[in-house]
């Protein structure tokens, strides 16, 4: 089946080459829904004209970034997938402490608007406050807009209701007129970086935890393998890989909850 329009075909090709995201043919409704507002914002006469410019080889970087931001999925919640966090709480963090770690080095890849790294920072503060203080959490995403929101750490009532109880809301957030904002003491523990999972450059090195959840499902098999190799290269000795519940790693022993322990290098 051919693409419903040349513009949608161009967007699919652009997203596949730019960041590995595979958009389905029957998602063509996203063309107007997500790129229509951008066409208006950038003063193009139509979505088709915007796509022809923004997805071309000579496009300005700001237009390319806008397309990626619009077409990538930013759905996430605090403490998403309870078995993942339960395994981390009951087995992985205690195991790292028993192995002599005094703090951790963490990479939260494809972190979207930041709920995952903030969830980890909260959990570490509760389980291991002395180790949490020295832990470095590097959180990355391809979307600069998502990272801006993550860095700001301000979330709506609906967003904090998804995954957080009252005790954590009181402990880690400051209530503002329209949002709840993560307290500075927690926000300072996370470093935010723009990163493309398909980048040939290495990610953070010697990590105790590498998390990349619910994003590989949008990649084809070759890109999925490439990303997994890159993530695996960032795991330090006796470190752990964490994936989404529907994703699997070919680079480690499954532990449950989406966690894997790669073999020794």
The predicted pLDDT at position 5 comes to 83
Assigned token pair, 220: 């084809």
Where does the pLDDT of residue 4 fall: very low under 50, low under 70, confident under 90, or very high at 90 and above? low
Q: Where does residue 222 rank: exposed (0-12), middle (13-18), buried (19+ CB within 10 A)? A: exposed
The predicted pLDDT at position 23 comes to 82
Q: Cα separation of 176 and 210, whole Å?
A: 32
- How much is the average pLDDT of 46-50? 93
The predicted pLDDT at position 18 comes to 83
Three-class HEC string of the chain? CCCCCHHHHHHHHHHHHHHCCCCCHHHCCHHHHHHHHHHHHCCCCCHHHHHHHHCCCCCCHHHHHHHHHHHCCCCCCCCCCHHHHHHHHHHHHHHHHHCCCCCCEEEECCCCCCHHHHHHHHHHHHHCHHHHCCCEEEEEECCHHHHHHHHHCEECHHHHHCCCCHHHHHHHEEECCCCEEECHHHHCCEEEEECCCCCCCCCCCCEEEEEECCCHHHCCHHHHHHHHHHHHHCEEEEEEEEECCCCCCCCCEEEECCEEECCCC
- The ranges of the chain annotated as CATH 3.40.50.150 are 82-152+189-261
Q: Cα separation of 167 and 187, whole Å?
A: 18
- How much is the average pLDDT of 14-22? 83
For 7, 81, 101, 110, the CA distances from 244, given in Å and listed in that order, are 32, 8, 25, 12
Where does the pLDDT of residue 147 fall: very low under 50, low under 70, confident under 90, or very high at 90 and above? very high
- The ranges of the chain annotated as CATH 1.10.155 are 6-71
CATH for 6-71 is 1.10.155
The predicted pLDDT at position 26 comes to 84
The predicted pLDDT at position 1 comes to 41
The predicted pLDDT at position 2 comes to 47
Q: Which superfamily is assigned to 82-152+189-261 in CATH?
A: Vaccinia Virus protein VP39 (3.40.50.150)
Mean residue pLDDT of the chain comes to 91
- Is 3 a residue whose pLDDT tops 60? no
Q: Cα separation of 57 and 174, whole Å?
A: 45
Beta carbons of 35 and 50 less than 8 angstroms apart:
yes
* pLDDT, tens digit, 9 for 90 and up, residues 164-189: 999 999 999 999 999 999 999 999 99
Of residues 21 and 1, more confidence is placed in 21
The predicted pLDDT at position 29 comes to 84
Weakest-pLDDT range from 29-38, 131-140, 155-164: 29-38
Q: What percent of the chain has pLDDT over 70?
A: 98
Of residues 9 and 250, more confidence is placed in 9
* pLDDT, tens digit, 9 for 90 and up, residues 85-127: 999 999 999 999 999 999 999 999 999 999 999 999 999 999 9
- How much is the average pLDDT of 186-205? 95
CA neighbours closer than 13 Å in the CB half-sphere of residue 222: 5
- Is 67 a residue whose pLDDT tops 90? no
């Amino acid at each position: 089946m051919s693409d419903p329009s040349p513009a949608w075909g161009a967007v699919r090709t652009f997203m596949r080459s730019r960041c590995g995201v595979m958009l389905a043919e029957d998602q063509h409704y996203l063309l107007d829904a997500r790129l229509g507002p951008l066409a208006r914002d950038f003063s193009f006469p139509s979505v088709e004209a915007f796509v022809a410019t923004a997805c071309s080889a000579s496009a300005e970087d700001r237009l390319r970034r806008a397309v990626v931001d619009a077409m990538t999925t930013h759905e996430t919640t605090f403490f998403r997938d309870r078995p993942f966090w339960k395994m981390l709480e009951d087995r992985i963090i205690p195991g790292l402490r028993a192995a002599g770690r005094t703090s951790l080095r963490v990479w939260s890849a494809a972190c979207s608007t930041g709920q995952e790294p903030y969830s980890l920072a909260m959990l570490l503060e509760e389980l291991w406050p002395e180790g949490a203080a020295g832990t470095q959490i590097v959180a990355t995403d391809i979307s600069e807009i998502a990272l801006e929101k993550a860095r700001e750490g301000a979330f709506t009532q609906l967003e904090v209701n998804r995954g957080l109880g009252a005790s954590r809301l009181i402990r880690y957030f400051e209530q503002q007129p329209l949002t709840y904002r993560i307290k500075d003491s927690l926000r300072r523990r996370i470093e935010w970086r723009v990163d493309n999972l398909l980048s040939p450059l290495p990610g953070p090195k010697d990590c105790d935890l590498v998390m990349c959840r619910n994003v590989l499902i949008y990649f084809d098999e070759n890109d999925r393998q490439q990303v997994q190799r890159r993530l695996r290269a960032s795991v330090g000795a006796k470190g752990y890989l964490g994936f989404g519940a529907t994703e699997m790693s070919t680079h480690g022993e499954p532990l449950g909850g989406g966690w894997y322990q790669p073999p020794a290098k």
